[in-house]
Amino acid sequence: MSEQTRASFGGKLSAILVSAGSAIGLGSIWRFPYMAGENGGAAFLLVYLLCVFVVGIPVMLGEFAVGRATKLNAVGGFRSLSRPWRWLGYNGVLGALLISGYYYIVAGWSLEYMVSSFSGLYSSGIPFSEQFTAFQASPRQAIYTIVFILLTHLIIIRGVEKGIEKASKVMMPALFIILIIMAVRVAFMPGAVEGYRFFLNPNFKEAFSANTIFTAIGQAFFSLSVGMGCMVTYASYFKKNNNLTNTSLSVALLTLLVAVLAGLVIFPAVFSAGLEPTEGASLIFNTLPEIFKDMPLASLWSATFFLLLTLASLTSTISFHEVLTAYFAEEHKLSRKRATYITSALSIALCMLSLFWVFDIDFAGLKLENTSCFDLFDYVTANILMPLGGLLTCIFVVWWMKPDFLRNEITNYGELKGRAYPLLRFTLRYITPLLIIYIFIKNIGLM
């Protein structure tokens, strides 16, 4: 595609908005609390923060550099710099495909909660956890999943610039505001203190178990949308004068802020309502209604929150849909429209697989009974494909490419001072890759 016909995002702020739109979503508001709940709360938060700075931000900058330098999709970007490295792009495309296979389902839950806020969630008197289980057993779950895929499809088909920028500009400030209101509200719930203790007061004995670090690195990759070509694809639409360092720092800080706010909302409510922080994927859907139920205008607050969560999820689904759409369009020379249809059809197929196929795994020490592609896709992307993509991105950007490559992108060919460059290069060369390798080895049980 020529420079003229390829889309580009408006200006500096747009680059931050769209990238933060991709990053902020179910990862920070749904996945982060449930991972933290299962992995010791405050200990997890601490390790997660560390991973964002040591792993997430550097890798994001590496991806930005590749995307903006090449102005191509994930596969094309790496390939145009060095042919064998196209496989790193394929790793991203596979990651985007597998995320599509379950993310829409959870996004659909949010959509359903938005609607049912007005139709029974609060008025039926049935315990929230029972309502959630009933919803999962009904065909509505599949319908909402498909509706969500179609929504994403519609936005993508209108083109990246219009849809994504607009959605992010409105949604993000609103999301912050409602999270802050909710955080203030839960502080007054009885027993909330227990929740703050769980989330903010680390127990160092648990803090550094290999599994906590493994899960936290996965969460850092997932929540920042790095390690799978998403930021390569988005940066391919950035302008030449965009300050990549500032963009990545802003995106990471905004994402962190949302995740921490989500924790400050969920955990006090969990303990106040006598629920368990370890309950897994259903955690926020069973907990949040507890916050709203005694508020005046409960349905309205609840619907507003789930509307914002739906929008936040939408700006994320758009981003991995775009990884696949750009790949199909540019690598297989299809029209964008065709590429969009193929991506949406694949997403529907994979989500249906996740919803309707249950199986057992007993393979290489991994024993899971009654599991589904939902869990498998989540585990494989966040804990394997994305860290692997991140590791290879480090090696590519600072070991394989000449030093000029990263320096030029970080300093915009000498226009910016690039004070962070030496630190970034050092981190990308040694710290990030060694940490990922260490955690991989440790987790396969070789050490």
Of 28 and 299, the one with the shorter C-beta distance to ligand PHE is 28
Of 18 and 228, the one with the shorter C-beta distance to ligand PHE is 228
Of 207 and 326, the one with the shorter C-beta distance to ligand PHE is 326
Residue 164 CB, nearest distance to ligand PHE (Å)? Answer: 12
Handedness of CA 318, 322, 325, 328 (dihedral sign): negative
Calpha distance 141→401 (Å, rounded)? 46
Write out the two tokens for 227: 């390690």
Residue 149 CB, nearest distance to ligand PHE (Å)? Answer: 15
Residue 130 CB, nearest distance to ligand PHE (Å)? Answer: 27
List residues bridging with 362 in a β-sheet.
367
Of 144 and 234, the one with the shorter C-beta distance to ligand PHE is 234
Q: Segment near ligand PHE (CB under 6 A), from 21-29, 240-248, 364-372, 387-395?
A: 21-29
Contacts of ligand PHE in 297-316 (CB under 6 A): 316
Q: Convert 46-81 to b/e letters by CB count within 10 Å (16 or more is b).
A: bbbbbbbebbbbbbbbbbbbbbbbbbbbbbbbbbbb
Contacts of ligand PHE in 83-102 (CB under 6 A): 99
# chain residues binding ligand PHE, by CB under 6 A: 15
Calpha distance 229→51 (Å, rounded)? 19
Of 225 and 340, the one with the shorter C-beta distance to ligand PHE is 225
Residue 228 CB, nearest distance to ligand PHE (Å)? Answer: 6
Handedness of CA 408, 412, 414, 418 (dihedral sign): negative
Residue 172 binds to ligand PHE (criterion: CB under 6 A): no
Site string for ligand PHE, 202-241 (x = CB under 6 A): --------------------xx-x--x-x-----------
Q: What is the CA radius of gyration of the chain?
A: 21
Of 317, 319, 373, 342, nearest to 104 (Cα)? 317
Calpha distance 389→78 (Å, rounded)? 12
Contacts of ligand PHE in 91-150 (CB under 6 A): 99
Residue 286 CB, nearest distance to ligand PHE (Å)? Answer: 20
Residue 27 binds to ligand PHE (criterion: CB under 6 A): yes
**Which of 14, 17, 18, 28 touches ligand PHE (CB under 6 A)?**
28
Of 98 and 207, the one with the shorter C-beta distance to ligand PHE is 98
Residue 25 binds to ligand PHE (criterion: CB under 6 A): yes
Of 39 and 317, the one with the shorter C-beta distance to ligand PHE is 317
**Which of 16, 17, 26, 351 touches ligand PHE (CB under 6 A)?**
26
Residue 4 CB, nearest distance to ligand PHE (Å)? Answer: 28
Q: Which residue is nearest to ligand PHE (CB)?
A: 27
Using CA atoms, how far residue 389 sits from 74, 92, 374, 385, in Å, is 11, 7, 21, 6
Of 431, 216, 194, nearest to 224 (Cα)? 216
Residue 171 CB, nearest distance to ligand PHE (Å)? Answer: 13
- Residue 174 and residue 306 in contact, taking contact as beta carbons nearer than 8 Å: no
Residue 144 CB, nearest distance to ligand PHE (Å)? Answer: 17
Of 195 and 390, the one with the shorter C-beta distance to ligand PHE is 390
DSSP tally for the chain: helices H, then strands E: 23, 2
244 half-sphere exposure, CB direction, 13 A CA radius: 35
Q: Segment near ligand PHE (CB under 6 A), from 22-30, 64-72, 109-117, 170-178?
A: 22-30
Give the three-class secondary structure for 28: helix
Residue 65 CB, nearest distance to ligand PHE (Å)? Answer: 18
Of 340, 13, 317, nearest to 165 (Cα)? 13
Residue 51 CB, nearest distance to ligand PHE (Å)? Answer: 14
Neighbours of 263 (CB within 10 A): 27
Residue 40 binds to ligand PHE (criterion: CB under 6 A): no
Residues 6+ apart with CB under 8 A from 152: 104, 314, 317, 318, 321, 344, 347
Using CA atoms, how far residue 401 sits from 394, 397, 414, 422, in Å, is 10, 5, 18, 16
Say how many Å lie between the first and final Cα of the chain, rounded.
48
- Residue 419 and residue 245 in contact, taking contact as beta carbons nearer than 8 Å: no
Residue 22 binds to ligand PHE (criterion: CB under 6 A): yes
Of 27 and 108, the one with the shorter C-beta distance to ligand PHE is 27
Residues that bind ligand PHE (CB under 6 A): 22-23, 25-28, 99, 222-223, 225, 228, 230, 316, 319-320
